[in-house]
């Protein structure tokens, strides 16, 4: 499988992240999106007339939507990531995959504006992103009260992987995550998954490294 990739693209990172989590090897083909605009070059437009990345090719199959690529990788190698095989759960996953596009169009566009000088009405983009982040916070908070840590139940699915990058990178577009405690706990749960990989702007969990032993004063107090 060949992934046409850009290191700074959160949508490409969705694919790289899922591939790492399920142990799927990808051949990465770096596309000079910035500053080269290679995604708008003739060969790339021939592959994907929409002029977007990522693009995944596999045996004649050409996929140009990152959520479709996530679906393909999971169905191909790790079906548990599609979510529980019930009508309701499959629909919940599909619902969040569509929601992820709203994040791309709002938080993602705000980040591209603030970081790479992409055009856009920054106030409108931040407004739409804030609305989406509030919906996500409400859903994750409700899920936590039901004892669920992820978007579609109690195990991570492609829904989480689709939403995670643009949420985690929202501060790059001037959208702090401080007001969203459930989002922050959810991000921590994703970053703690076995096989998690980072991208520029999303750091690994240094704090999961072995902690120093119990604090002596605390032990003394408890024993006293």
Partner 1 sequence: MSEGGAMRDQWYPVGMTKQLTAQGRDTMLMGEPIRVALAGGAPSVTDGTGRALPVIDRFGHVWTSLGQPEKDLFTIPEVDQPGRRLVDVGVCRVRCSPLRAVENFLDIAHFPFVHTDILGSEPHTEVARYEVEIRDDVDEVWATKVKFFQPQAAKSAEGGITTDYMYRVCAPTCSVLYKTCPPKPGEWDVIALFVQPLTETLCDVWPYMALYDDDAEMTDLIHFQQMIFVQDRSVLENQLPALLPLDPGREIPTRADMTSIAYRRWLKRHGFTYGAQLVAA
- Contacts with partner 1 by CB under 8 A lie at 6-8, 30-32, 34-36, 38, 114-117, 171-172, 174, 200-201, 203-204, 206, 209
For the bound state, the minimum distance from the C-beta of residue 97 to partner 1, rounded and expressed in Å, comes to 26
For the bound state, the minimum distance from the C-beta of residue 121 to partner 1, rounded and expressed in Å, comes to 16
The C-alpha atoms of residue 38 and residue 15 are separated, in whole angstroms, by: 20
The C-alpha atoms of residue 14 and residue 66 are separated, in whole angstroms, by: 7
Residue (40 or 219) nearer to partner 1, CB: 40
Residue (117 or 215) nearer to partner 1, CB: 117
3-state DSSP assignment of residue 187 = helix
Omega prior to 53 cis, within 30 of 0: no
For the bound state, the minimum distance from the C-beta of residue 64 to partner 1, rounded and expressed in Å, comes to 20
**Structure tokens given for 7:** 């290191």
Report how far Cα 204 is from the mean position of its chain's Cα atoms: 14
Q: Parallel, antiparallel, or unpaired: how do β-strands 61-63 and 55-58 relate?
A: antiparallel
**Structure tokens given for 181:** 């405690």
Residue (55 or 97) nearer to partner 1, CB: 55
Residue (78 or 122) nearer to partner 1, CB: 122
For the bound state, the minimum distance from the C-beta of residue 79 to partner 1, rounded and expressed in Å, comes to 31
Residue (159 or 169) nearer to partner 1, CB: 169
Residue (8 or 20) nearer to partner 1, CB: 8
Residues 100, 104, 106, 111: is their CA dihedral positive or negative?
A: positive
The C-alpha atoms of residue 82 and residue 89 are separated, in whole angstroms, by: 9
For the bound state, the minimum distance from the C-beta of residue 102 to partner 1, rounded and expressed in Å, comes to 23
The C-alpha atoms of residue 149 and residue 154 are separated, in whole angstroms, by: 5
For the bound state, the minimum distance from the C-beta of residue 35 to partner 1, rounded and expressed in Å, comes to 3
Q: Parallel, antiparallel, or unpaired: how do β-strands 2-5 and 27-30 relate?
A: parallel
Q: DSSP letter at 52?
A: -
């Amino acid at each position: 499988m060949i992934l046409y990739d850009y290191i700074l693209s959160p949508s490409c990172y969705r694919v790289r992240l899922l591939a790492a989590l399920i142990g799927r090897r990808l051949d990465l083909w770096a596309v000079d999106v910035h500053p080269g605009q290679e995604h708008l070059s003739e060969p790339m437009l021939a592959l994907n007339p929409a002029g977007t990345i990522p693009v995944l090719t596999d045996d004649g199959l050409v996929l140009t939507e990152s959520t479709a690529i996530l679906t393909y990788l999971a169905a191909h190698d790790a079906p548990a990531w599609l979510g529980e095989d019930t009508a309701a759960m499959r629909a919940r996953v599909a619902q969040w995959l569509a929601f992820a596009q709203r994040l791309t169009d709002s938080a993602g566009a705000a980040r591209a504006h603030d970081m790479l000088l992409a055009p856009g009405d920054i106030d409108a983009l931040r407004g739409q992103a804030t609305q989406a982040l509030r919906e996500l916070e409400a859903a994750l908070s409700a899920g936590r009260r039901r004892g669920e840590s992820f978007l579609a139940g109690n195990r991570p699915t492609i829904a989480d992987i689709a939403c995670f990058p643009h949420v985690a990178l929202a501060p790059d577009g001037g959208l702090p995550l401080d007001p969203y405690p459930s989002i922050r706990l959810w991000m921590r749960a994703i970053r703690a998954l076995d096989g998690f990989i980072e991208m520029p702007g999303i750091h690994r969990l240094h704090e999961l490294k072995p902690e120093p032993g119990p604090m002596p004063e605390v032990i003394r107090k408890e024993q006293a």
